[in-house]
Amino acid sequence: MSGLKKEKETSTSELIQEFKKISLPIEEKYKVSVRLIRISGRRWSYVTGRKIDNFPAKPPQCIKLNEKLGVVVYGREEVSLNKRKILNVFKKLKEYE
C-alpha cells in the first residue's frame, strides 16, 4: 500500500515539473497566468501554477485536458491562445491520470 502512495506522489511531482516546463514559456509569450487543475466530478481544484495578486476582469479560459486534469488561463486582455492551441501545447500532460 505504501508503494502505491509513493508511486502516486512521484507521478504528481513529475506532472508538476512537466507543467512548469510547458507553462512558463506560454506565460511569457502570451502575458497570461496558467494554472494546472485536478478535476474530480464537477469540482476543479488548484494543483500548481503562478498565483495572481490582482485577478484580471476577463473571465478565465477553463480547458479540460482529460477526465482528471485541466488548465485555467488568466489574461488581462483578449488572449490570442485558443482552446486548440492550449490542448496542443499541453498534450503531453494528457497521459498523466
Confidence of residue 2 (pLDDT cuts 50, 70, 90): very low
Stated pTM of the model: 0.76
Question: Above 80 in pLDDT, residue 21?
Answer: yes
The beta-carbon contacts of 26-34 under 8 Å, at least 24 apart in sequence, are: 26/81, 26/89, 30/75, 30/79, 30/80, 30/81, 31/75, 31/76, 31/77, 32/73, 32/74, 32/75, 32/79, 32/81, 33/73, 33/74, 33/75, 34/71, 34/72, 34/73, 34/74
**Per-residue confidence band for 6, with pLDDT thresholds at 50, 70 and 90:** very low
